[in-house]
Chains A and B, each alone.
Chain A
């Protein structure tokens, strides 16, 4: 299974997926930490993947989503954005709605 197939499988395995540096318990970058805090505040149940421990996925994602940085949040397999966009959505109360809708 090549990297693009592995990414597709990960993204179809969970409604909410966060690719980040480190893990929610020990984030390795301030922006990844902030993303997990926002998801926690929204009460999101999500799958997280540490791209620091999987360079193939890290590189593959840049091509898959045409998004060069991390974290990357996906809802129902769709890229929502990075920490910047998550923050703007969170401040407008829209991230909460998107998360609730994705969790169904």
Chain B
């Protein structure tokens, strides 16, 4: 079963330098991510960037991940 810590590490691996906070119950998770890659991107694109760092886990081991995404300084 996935732990918030696992998800946090995967996002940080995929978005070096990002500030990541993850909570969750093993199936449904919430994450706050602040990353420079988000600058100028739509909400949809930001979420796709985060999902990409989680690869095949998304929609499988991770049933749901609700996201709050910000670029630094927003």
Contacts and interface: CB of A to CB of B under 8 A. Distances in A.
B10 interface: no
B44 A79 contact: yes
A85 B43 contact: yes
Contact of B43 (A62, A69, A70, A88): A88
A81 B47 contact: yes
A80 B64 contact: no
Contacts of B59: 62, 68-70
User: For the side of the interface on A, what is the size category?
Assistant: 10 to 19
Interface in B39-74: 43-44, 47-48, 51-52, 58-59, 63-67
Contacts, number: 31
A69 B48 contact: no
A67 interface: yes
Given A67-B48, A68-B59, A81 B43 contact: yes
Interface residues of B, number: 13
A81 B67 CA distance: 12
A68 B58 contact: yes
Interface in A18-68: 31, 62, 66-68
A31 B43 contact: no
Contacts of A62: 59
A9 interface: no
A85 B44 contact: yes
A67 B1 CA distance: 22
State the 4 A-B residue pairs at the shortest beta-carbon distance, nearest first: A68-B59, A68-B58, A84-B66, A69-B59
